Amino acid sequence: MEARVTAHSRFAVAEIDPRLYGSFLEHLGRAVYTGIYEPDHPEADSEGMRRDVIELVRELDTPICRYPGGNFVSAYDWEDGIGPKDQRPTRLDLAWRTSESNQVGIHEYADWAEKAGTEMMLAINLGSRGLDHARNFVEYVNHPGGSQWSELRKQNGRAEPWGVKVWCLGNEMDGPWQIGHKSAAEYGHLANETAKALRAFDKSLELVVCGSSHSNMPSYPQWEATVLEATYDQVDYISLHMYFENYEENTAEYLALSEKLDRYIGTVSGVIDYVKAKRRSTREVKISFDEWNVWYHERKNDAKRMEEWDWPHAPALLEDIYNMEDVLQVGCILNTFIRRSDVVRMACIAQLVNVIAPIMTAPGGPAWRQTIFHPFKFASTLGRGTALRLDVECPTYDADVAAGVPWLDIAGVHDGDEGSVTFFAINRHGSETLETALSLEGFGAAQSVEHQIIRHDDLEAKNTQDNPQNVAPQEGDGATLAEGGLTLTLPPLSYSVVRVRL
CB of 385 to ligand AHR, least distance (A): 29
Considering only 171, 239, 386, 489, the residue that binds ligand AHR (CB under 6 A) is 171
Q: Is residue 332 a contact point for ligand AHR (CB under 6 A)?
A: no
What gap in Å lies between CA 190 and CA 127, rounded to an integer?
A: 10
- The answer to whether 167 and 139 are in contact (CB under 8 A) is no
Considering only 100, 108, 172, 236, the residue that binds ligand AHR (CB under 6 A) is 172
What gap in Å lies between CA 35 and CA 462, rounded to an integer?
A: 20
> What are the beta bridge partners of residue 466?
none
Marked catalytic residue, from 100, 119, 172, 206: 172
User: Which C-beta is closer to ligand AHR: that of 54 or that of 294?
Assistant: 294
| DSSP code of residue 88 | P
> What are the beta bridge partners of residue 387?
14, 413
When computed from its CA atoms, the radius of gyration of the chain, rounded to whole angstroms, is 23
- The answer to whether 26 and 241 are in contact (CB under 8 A) is no
CB of 263 to ligand AHR, least distance (A): 20
Q: What is the 3-state secondary structure (H, E, C) of 269-331?
A: HHHHHHHHHHCCCCCCCEEEEEEEEECCCCHHHHHHHHHHCCCCECCCCCCCCCEHHHHHHHH
CB of 175 to ligand AHR, least distance (A): 7
Catalytic annotation present for 435: no
CB of 42 to ligand AHR, least distance (A): 29
Marked catalytic residue, from 38, 100, 206, 291: 291
Considering only 108, 174, 291, 319, the residue that binds ligand AHR (CB under 6 A) is 291
Residue nearest to ligand AHR (CB): 70
If DSSP codes are grouped into helix, strand and coil, which group holds residue 50?
strand
Q: Is residue 302 a contact point for ligand AHR (CB under 6 A)?
A: no
User: Which C-beta is closer to ligand AHR: that of 216 or that of 467?
Assistant: 216
User: Which C-beta is closer to ligand AHR: that of 158 or that of 182?
Assistant: 182
Catalytic annotation present for 79: no
User: Which C-beta is closer to ligand AHR: that of 213 or that of 258?
Assistant: 213
CB of 71 to ligand AHR, least distance (A): 4
CB of 69 to ligand AHR, least distance (A): 5
If DSSP codes are grouped into helix, strand and coil, which group holds residue 112?
helix
Taking residue 193's Cβ as centre, other Cβ atoms within 10 Å add up to 16
Residues 6+ apart with CB under 8 A from 387: 12, 13, 14, 15, 16, 338, 339, 341, 342, 411, 412, 413
Torsion of the alpha carbons at 219, 221, 224 and 225, rounded to the nearest 10: -110
Closest Cα partner for 123 from 178, 84, 83?
Answer: 178
Q: Is residue 174 a contact point for ligand AHR (CB under 6 A)?
A: no
Torsion of the alpha carbons at 38, 39, 42 and 44, rounded to the nearest 10: 80
Q: Is residue 320 a contact point for ligand AHR (CB under 6 A)?
A: no
CB of 350 to ligand AHR, least distance (A): 4
By CB under 6 A, the residues from 26 to 85 that bind ligand AHR are 26, 69-71
User: Which C-beta is closer to ligand AHR: that of 241 or that of 429?
Assistant: 241
User: Which C-beta is closer to ligand AHR: that of 142 or that of 351?
Assistant: 351
Considering only 192, 351, 422, 494, the residue that binds ligand AHR (CB under 6 A) is 351
Using CB under 6 A as the binding criterion, the count of chain residues that bind ligand AHR stands at 10
> What are the beta bridge partners of residue 368?
360
Strand 474-475 relative to strand 448-454, pairing: antiparallel
Instruction: Print the binding letters for residues 441-470 with ligand AHR: x by CB under 6 A, - otherwise.
Output: ------------------------------
User: Which C-beta is closer to ligand AHR: that of 70 or that of 211?
Assistant: 70
CB of 244 to ligand AHR, least distance (A): 12
- The answer to whether 172 and 166 are in contact (CB under 8 A) is no
User: Which C-beta is closer to ligand AHR: that of 214 or that of 389?
Assistant: 214
Interior angle at CA 460, CA 399 and CA 25, nearest 5: 90
If DSSP codes are grouped into helix, strand and coil, which group holds residue 199?
helix
User: Which C-beta is closer to ligand AHR: that of 213 or that of 422?
Assistant: 213
Q: 180: burial class by Cβ within 10 Å (0-12, 13-18, 19+)? A: middle
Instruction: Print the binding letters for residues 386-425 with ligand AHR: x by CB under 6 A, - otherwise.
Output: ----------------------------------------
By CB under 6 A, the residues from 206 to 225 that bind ligand AHR are 213
What gap in Å lies between CA 473 and CA 223, rounded to an integer?
A: 41
CB of 70 to ligand AHR, least distance (A): 3
Which positions touch ligand AHR (CB under 6 A)? 26, 69-71, 171-172, 213, 291, 350-351
Q: What are the residue numbers of the active site?
A: 172, 291
